[in-house]
Amino acid sequence: MEEWLIYKEFRFEAAHHLPHHTGKCGRLHGHSWVGRVYIQGNKLIEDGSQQGMLLDYGEIKQYIEPLLERYLDHHYLNQTTGLLNPTSEAIARWVFERLEETDLPGLHAVEIRETCTTGARYMKR
Ligand SMILES: [Zn+2]
């Protein structure tokens, strides 16, 4: 069987702090976060303007944008997400669960990158 995994990347600027961390992450600070939503499927759209696509990237974006606006971009993540300890891991799970509540088809994973070299990917098995 064929299978595709596509992704849509999104970016946001936001502050957080990790209350338990004894290093610098314990202080209030910000990141230019980069996220990816991964969509999995085994059947491409066969006709119309989206033929040959698993899902239109523009459509994925429409699911992400309300989250960026209301909770993520230029927000204080400890407050807006309700997460007591908003690590990349926790934010990836939080975004995944918010998207899971919508009818976004084929949701597979959410990745959150905190810096150029660090990040976390969450998926359900
Ligand atoms: Zn941080």
Q: Which residues sit opposite 37 in a β-bridge? A: 8, 110
Catalytic residues: 25, 74, 114
Q: How many domains does the structure of the chain reveal?
A: 1
* CATH, residue 57: 3.30.479.10
Extended strands (E) in 17-104: 29-41, 75-76
Output the CA 43–ligand 1 centroid distance in Å: 38
Q: Residue 19 sits in which domain range?
A: 4-123
The confidence score (pLDDT) of residue 125 equals 84
Q: How far is the CA of 45 from the centre of ligand 1 (A)?
A: 39
Residue 105 near residue 62 (C-beta atoms within 8 A): no
pLDDT per residue as tens digits for the range 25-39: 999 999 999 999 999
Given a cut of 90, whether residue 16 has pLDDT beyond it is yes
- What pLDDT score was predicted for residue 72? 98
E strands, the chain, are 4-16, 29-41, 75-76, 107-115, 118-123
